[in-house]
């Protein structure tokens, strides 16, 4: 996400380096470049105008002229102002003191509401909440079934209309869903509503009727970041037609140019609370304006990376491994396999690596990174006998051929794996188990 925008803004800021003092012309040139990059990324014109105006004012002001390193000072100003454009402080949900907290989802058809409902529910469940989903999208064929599937994946109950009971009446279904959640003592209930392909009055009326019947504590407007410039216009229509308290940007994993993220808060004055970054339940994150600005400026987002790692890595597993190594036991191929599997859990490696600082320069290598190689490693290790996994020295030529055949790989790949494993093992020995690292990551290509 934001790759192109990020490359262009960082390139123009780099152009300032090496200048001791900055002239007005230097600043203006950089601002022009940033302005063009933002417009090309589909950021709404009034937002671009305000942003560049503020950056210019500050960059030509005392802040920079007195600074020891003017170029860095300009980077800081751009960073600060990007955070403001993205909403300033991280937005919060309005949790109700009298549960259940009612959250209504609104947005166009295909925006990603149903998918988001599952992601949000899982995220809440992981934090100890007891969410229930309500299928009040009766417009789209299969929407109810889709929500049921998503709910099952998330391990969260779904309230859906039973034949003969409120069928065809989404307001009734929503109301029944909320009272059911209350009765069953769920502390949060997420109501999925219908969208249309375009903004239309009937849909707005239905959303308003549902809103007035269930009094949501939060109405989240879900918008597909790929629709670019249209996002701001659709957001305005929903703000005026239904009203919402927060925004969720979906499909930020696609080649979204960033316009939606950078325009929506400025245009609607509502915070972006979450970002959806893929089709899987785990492809979901809180939206932190400061971290996102850091990503756009290629400063990296180490905080999000750590959080994702914490969510995914099994702490007990890691401690077990550390304890084992500390006690002098050797790192085996089974341990290697476990680490690889955890790595796979971490969702897209590319996404993860992209959160590290200064990765822009490695983008091409990252793009060519082949995650399926982890699946192959898994297959190879699983084709080994327990004795071989404990003691890879046993794996001679004929065993290599057998393992390659069993795993559908080649002897060359087995050789490569064993070589990588050896390096990982040496690294683990030298660390004495101090840190459950991620050795021997499969290389690019």
Could you tell me the smallest distance in angstroms from the CB atom of residue 131 to ligand GDP?
17
Cis peptide bond N-terminal to 100, omega within 30: yes
Contact segment (CB under 6 A) with ligand GDP among 246-254, 266-274, 314-322, 401-409 equals: 246-254
Q: What DSSP element (H or E) covers 232?
A: helix 230-241
Q: Which of 58, 251, 270, 288 binds ligand GDP (CB under 6 A)?
A: 251
Cβ-based nearer residue to ligand GDP, 250 or 407: 250
**Order of strands across the sheet that contains 218-224:** 158-159, 131-136, 188-193, 101-106, 218-224, 246-250, 272-276, 284-286
Residue that the structure tokens 């990982």 belong to: 424
Cβ-based nearer residue to ligand GDP, 170 or 278: 278
Cβ-based nearer residue to ligand GDP, 322 or 346: 346
Q: Which of 13, 34, 47, 111 binds ligand GDP (CB under 6 A)?
A: 111
Pick from 234, 23, 22: which is nearest to 108 by CA? 234
Q: Is 288 left (phi over 0), alpha (psi -120 to 50) or beta?
A: beta
Q: How far apart are CA 270 and CA 91, in angstroms?
A: 9
Cβ-based nearer residue to ligand GDP, 22 or 226: 226
DSSP letters, 152-216, are HHHT--EE-PBTTBSTT-HHHHHHHHHHHHHHTT-SEEEEEE---SS--HHHHHHHHHHHHHH--
Q: Which of 57, 126, 279, 367 binds ligand GDP (CB under 6 A)?
A: 279
The answer to whether residue 250 forms part of the interface with ligand GDP (CB under 6 A) is: yes
The answer to whether residue 282 forms part of the interface with ligand GDP (CB under 6 A) is: no
Query: Within 170-209, which residues bind ligand GDP (CB under 6 A)?
Result: 195
Cβ-based nearer residue to ligand GDP, 109 or 341: 109
Is residue 136 within 8 Å of 170, Cβ to Cβ? Answer: yes
Cβ-based nearer residue to ligand GDP, 113 or 217: 113
Q: Which of 10, 73, 193, 276 binds ligand GDP (CB under 6 A)?
A: 276
Pick from 92, 61, 55, 97: which is nearest to 75 by CA? 55
Question: Two tokens at 139?
Answer: 């417009």
Could you tell me the smallest distance in angstroms from the CB atom of residue 107 to ligand GDP?
6
Q: Which of 30, 277, 338, 425 binds ligand GDP (CB under 6 A)?
A: 277
Cβ-based nearer residue to ligand GDP, 71 or 222: 222
Q: Which of 87, 91, 112, 259 binds ligand GDP (CB under 6 A)?
A: 112
3-state DSSP assignment of residue 386: helix
Q: How far is CA 280 from CA 47, 224, 253, in A?
A: 32, 16, 11
Query: Within 114-153, which residues bind ligand GDP (CB under 6 A)?
Result: 114-115
Could you tell me the smallest distance in angstroms from the CB atom of residue 369 to ligand GDP?
18
The answer to whether residue 425 forms part of the interface with ligand GDP (CB under 6 A) is: no
Is residue 362 within 8 Å of 431, Cβ to Cβ? Answer: no
Could you tell me the smallest distance in angstroms from the CB atom of residue 195 to ligand GDP?
5
**Distance of alpha carbon 209 from the chain centroid:** 32
Q: Which residues bind ligand GDP (CB under 6 A)?
A: 107, 109-115, 195, 250-251, 253-254, 276-279, 283
């Amino acid at each position: 996400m934001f790759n192109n925008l990020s490359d262009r803004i960082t390139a123009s800021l780099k152009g300032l380096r090496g200048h001791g003092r900055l002239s007005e012309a230097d600043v203006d040139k950089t601002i022009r470049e940033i302005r063009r990059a933002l417009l090309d990324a589909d950021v709404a014109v009034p937002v671009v105008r305000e942003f560049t105006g503020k950056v210019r004012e500050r960059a030509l002001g005392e802040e920079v002229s007195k600074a020891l390193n003017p170029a860095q000072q300009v980077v800081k100003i751009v960073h600060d102002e990007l955070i403001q454009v993205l909403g300033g402080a991280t937005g919060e949900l309005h949790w109700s003191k009298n549960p259940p907290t009612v959250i209504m989802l609104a947005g166009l058809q295909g925006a990603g509401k149903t998918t988001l409902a599952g992601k949000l529910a899982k995220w809440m469940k992981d934090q100890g909440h007891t969410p229930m989903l309500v299928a009040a999208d009766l417009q789209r064929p299969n929407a109810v079934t889709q929500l049921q599937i998503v709910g099952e994946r998330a391990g969260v109950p779904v309230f859906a209309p039973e034949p003969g009971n409120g069928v065809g009446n989404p307001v009734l279904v929503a109301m029944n869903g909320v009272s059911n959640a209350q009765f069953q003592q769920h502390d949060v209930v997420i109501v999925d509503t219908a969208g249309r392909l375009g903004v239309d009055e009937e849909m707005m009326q239905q959303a308003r009727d549902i809103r007035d019947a269930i009094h949501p504590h939060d109405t989240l407007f879900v918008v597909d970041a790929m629709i670019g410039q249209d996002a701001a216009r659709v957001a305005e229509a929903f703000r005026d037609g239904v009203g919402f308290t927060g925004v969720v940007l979906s499909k930020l994993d696609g080649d979204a140019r960033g316009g939606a993220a950078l325009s929506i808060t400025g245009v609607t004055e509502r915070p972006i609370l979450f970002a959806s970054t893929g089709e899987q339940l785990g492809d979901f994150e809180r939206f932190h304006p400061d971290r996102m600005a850091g990503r756009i400026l290629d400063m990296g987002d180490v905080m999000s990376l750590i959080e994702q790692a914490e969510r995914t890595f099994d702490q007990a597993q890691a401690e077990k491994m550390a304890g084992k190594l500390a006690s002098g036991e050797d790192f085996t191929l089974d341990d290697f396999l476990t680490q690889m599997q955890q790595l796979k859990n971490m969702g897209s490696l590319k996404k993860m690596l992209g959160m590290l600082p200064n990765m822009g320069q490695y983008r091409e290598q990252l793009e060519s990174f082949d995650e399926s190689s982890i699946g192959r490693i898994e297959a190879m290790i699983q084709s080994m006998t327990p004795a071989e996994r404990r003691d890879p020295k046993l794996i001679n030529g004929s065993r290599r051929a057998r393992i390659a055949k069993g795993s559908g790989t080649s002897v060359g790949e087995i050789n490569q794996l064993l070589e990588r494993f050896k390096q990982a093992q040496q690294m683990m020995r030298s660390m004495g188990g101090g840190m459950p690292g991620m050795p021997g990551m499969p290389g690019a290509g």
